[in-house]
Amino acid sequence: MNLYPIWVRRETPAATETLSETIPSLLDWPELKEKVKNCELCPLRAGCKQTVFGVGNEKAEWLFVGEGPGAEEDARGEPFVGQAGRLLDNMLLAIGLKRSDVYIANVVKCRPPSNRQPHASEMAACLPYLENQIALIQPKIIVALGRTAASALLNTDAAISSLRGRVHEHRGIPVVVSFHPAYLLRTPLDKAKSWQDLCLASETVGRS
Q: Which residues are near ligand URA by CB under 6 A?
A: 66-70, 73, 79-80, 82, 84, 106, 182
CB of 23 or CB of 84, closer to ligand URA: 84
Nearest to ligand URA of 23, 78 (CB atom) = 78
Residue number with CB closer to ligand URA (160 or 182): 182
Smallest separation (angstroms) from ligand URA to the CB of 32: 18
Nearest to ligand URA of 67, 131 (CB atom): 67
Task: Round to whole Å and give the CA distance between 197 and 167.
Answer: 10
Query: C-beta of 67: minimal distance to ligand URA in Å?
Result: 4
- Which residue is nearest to ligand URA, using beta carbons? 66
| Closest distance of CB 86 from ligand URA, Å | 11
DSSP run (H or E) holding 36: helix 29-37
For residues 111 and 116, give the distance between their C-alpha atoms in angstroms, rounded to a whole number. 9
- Closest CB 82 distance from ligand URA, rounded Å: 6
Q: Would you give the distance in Å from CA 55 to the centre of its chain?
A: 11
Q: What 3-state class would DSSP assign to 34? A: helix
Q: How far is the CB of 85 from ligand URA (least distance, A)?
A: 6
Nearer Cβ to ligand URA (79/128) = 79
Smallest gap, in angstroms, from Cβ of residue 144 to ligand URA?
11
Q: Residues 14-19: contacts with CB within 8 Å, 24+ apart?
A: 15/154, 15/155, 15/168, 15/169, 15/170, 15/171, 16/169, 16/171, 16/172, 17/171, 17/172, 18/171, 18/172, 19/131, 19/134, 19/135, 19/171, 19/172
- The span from the first CA to the last CA of the chain, in angstroms, equals 42
R_g of the chain computed on alpha carbons: 16
Residue number with CB closer to ligand URA (51 or 132): 51
